[in-house]
Amino acid sequence: MGTRDCQHQIAMSSPAAGEAGATGDWRTERPVLDPALCLAQKQEKEACQLCWVYCPDLCIARGVPPAVLLTYCKGCGICAEVCPTDAIAMVPERESAAAAAGGAR
Amino acid sequence: MTRLVDLPTQEHMLPGNRACAGCSLGIGLRSILKALDGKAVMTVPASCLTVIGGMYPTSSVTVPWLNVAFPGCAAAAAGLAAGLRATGRDREMTVLAMAGDGGTADIGIQALSGAAERNDDFIYVCYDNEAYMNTGTQRSGLTPAGARTTTTMLGKRENPKDMCRIMEAHGIPYVASTSAVFPDDVYDKLARARTLRGLRYVHMNTPCPSGWSFEPRDSVTVGQLAVDTGLVVLFEVEGGVFRLTGRSKTLAKRGKRPPVADYLATQGRFKGMSPEAATEIQRWVDGRWAEYLRRDAAGATT
C-alpha cells in the first residue's frame, strides 16, 4: 500500500500490487498444476503458456512449468479451463489447505 | 499475426486489483497496454475499469491514468492529446480513452462523436460488457436483445446499437471490433492503431461472469463462443477498407457457424427466453454476418 503524501496539490495514486489487499482471500478453489501433464514441461521449453496468457489477474508466472502466485489468485479457474492438457485442477481450498498443512498460502 | 506465446512478457498491470474473479477485462487490458508498450496515458470515466484503476492512494496499473466524469472520456482525451502536441510529446506516448458500453454508446457518445468529427489524435477503446455492470447490471444501448438485466426483467426487447458502424460513419482512420478473450487479436489491433494518427476506435467485447450469469471459469469459453456463433465479429476497417481478422476470418473460410442458441444457453441472462425470440436473434445475426462477408469480399478486391 502507498502512503498519503499531503504535499501533492492533486490526489495522485501510486502503483502497487494488492490494491484490494491479498485477493487470494476471495478464493474458494485453488489451481494446482500437475507438471507431468503440462505441455511446457513435456517439451522442456516455454511452449503453450496459455494459463499465463489468459489469467486476468497476472497470477501465473511464465515458465517451465508456469507457477501460480497464490497470494493474489482469486480462484476464477480460467487457467484450468483453457489448459489444453487439463494439467491444472481446481482443488477446494479446504482440502488443499489440509494437504499443504501450513504450506505457502 | 502475433502468437499468444509470443506476447510481450512486460506487464503494465499489477495483481491484487478489485475486479471480480474471472473478469475478462483484465485479460483485455493486459494486451492493450502491452501493445502500447506501457507508453500511454489513459482517461477513464465511471465504469468497471475504475475498479481496476483502484482507490486512492494506490493503483493497479503502471501507466498514468485520469479518472474523469462519465460523459467526458473522449473530451478529456482530446484535451490530453492537444496538451501533448503543444509540448511536443505526442510521439512519445499514446492517449488512450477507455470506457464501457454505457460510457460510450449512451452517456459518452456526444463527446466521442465530437472528437471523431475533429479527428482528435487518440485511441478510444470501448470495452463492451453489454450493460452497466459497475452499478449492478442495468441495460445499456449495447445490451443485446433478450438479455435480462435489473431494468429489463423480462429480457431487453431492442437490438443493440452498432457502435462500429456509427464510428465508421464519422470517417475516422481506423475502426476495429475485437474480443478481450482473444488477446492476440486485441494486441495486433492496438499495435496497428498505435502507428496511425487521428481518432482510432476499437470495440472490445468483454464477457462478464456476474452480469451475464455464468461461472467465472467460463469467461474465455463464453467469449470464444460469442465469436464462433457470429454475435461478435472480429474485423478492422482501415481507410475505409473492411477486413475480417483472426477467428472470424477462419469462420468465414469454413462457412459454418454453431447456432446462436448454443451461446444463449451458456448464460443465465438469456434463461427463459422463448424459442421465437432465439430464432429472431439467429436471423439478426445471420443478416449481419452476410453483410460482413459481403464487405470482406469487397475489401479483398480493393
Q: Please state, in angstroms and as integers, the Cα–Cα distance from residue B120 to each residue in A12, B175, B198, B297, following that order.
A: 26, 14, 5, 31
Cα Rg of chain A, angstroms: 17
Nearest Cα of chain B lies from the Cα of A85 at a distance, in angstroms, of: 16
Q: Is B220 on the interface with A (CB under 8 A)?
A: yes
Task: Please tell me the predicted confidence (pLDDT) of residue A99.
Answer: 66
Model confidence at A105, pLDDT cuts 50, 70, 90, reads: very low
Chain A interface, best mutation among B14, B48, B208, by max A CB count within 10 A: B14
Provide, as residue numbers in chain B, all residues whose Cβ is less than 8 Å from the Cβ of A89: none
Chain B interface, best mutation among A64, A68, A71, A74, by max B CB count within 10 A: A74
- The domain segmentation of chain B, as residue ranges, is 9-300
* CATH number of the structural domain A38-89: 3.30.70
Provide, as residue numbers in chain A, all residues whose Cβ is less than 8 Å from the Cβ of B56: 11, 13
Q: Is B66 on the interface with A (CB under 8 A)?
A: no
Mean pLDDT for the stretch of residues B82-90:
94
**Cα separation, B112 vs B103, whole angstroms:** 10
Does the pLDDT of residue B1 top 90, yes or no?
Answer: no
Predicted model pTM: 0.93
- Kindly report, residue by residue over B209-243, the tens digit of the pLDDT: 999 999 999 999 999 999 999 999 999 999 999 99
Q: Name the percent of chain B lying above pLDDT 90.
A: 95
Contact criterion met (CB < 8 Å) for A11 and B25: no
Nearest Cα of chain A lies from the Cα of B2 at a distance, in angstroms, of: 13
- Kindly report, residue by residue over B289-298, the tens digit of the pLDDT: 999 999 999 9
Provide, as residue numbers in chain B, all residues whose Cβ is less than 8 Å from the Cβ of A56: 19, 22-27, 30, 219
Provide, as residue numbers in chain A, all residues whose Cβ is less than 8 Å from the Cβ of B53: 13
Contact criterion met (CB < 8 Å) for A20 and B17: yes
* CATH number of the structural domain B9-300: 3.40.50.970
Mean pLDDT for the stretch of residues B187-203:
97
Contact criterion met (CB < 8 Å) for A53 and B183: yes
- The domain segmentation of chain A, as residue ranges, is 38-89
Nearest Cα of chain A lies from the Cα of B22 at a distance, in angstroms, of: 5
A48-81 b/e with 16+ CB inside 10 Å = b? bbbbbbbbbbbbbebebbbebbbbbbbbbbbbbb
Q: Could you report the predicted ipTM of this complex, rounded to two decimals? A: 0.93
Provide, as residue numbers in chain A, all residues whose Cβ is less than 8 Å from the Cβ of B14: 15-19, 58
Model confidence at A5, pLDDT cuts 50, 70, 90, reads: low
- Kindly report, residue by residue over B250-296, the tens digit of the pLDDT: 999 999 999 999 999 999 999 989 999 999 999 999 999 999 999 99
Does the pLDDT of residue B180 top 70, yes or no?
Answer: yes
Contact criterion met (CB < 8 Å) for B57 and A56: no
Model confidence at A100, pLDDT cuts 50, 70, 90, reads: low
Task: Please tell me the predicted confidence (pLDDT) of residue A11.
Answer: 76
Provide, as residue numbers in chain B, all residues whose Cβ is less than 8 Å from the Cβ of A10: none
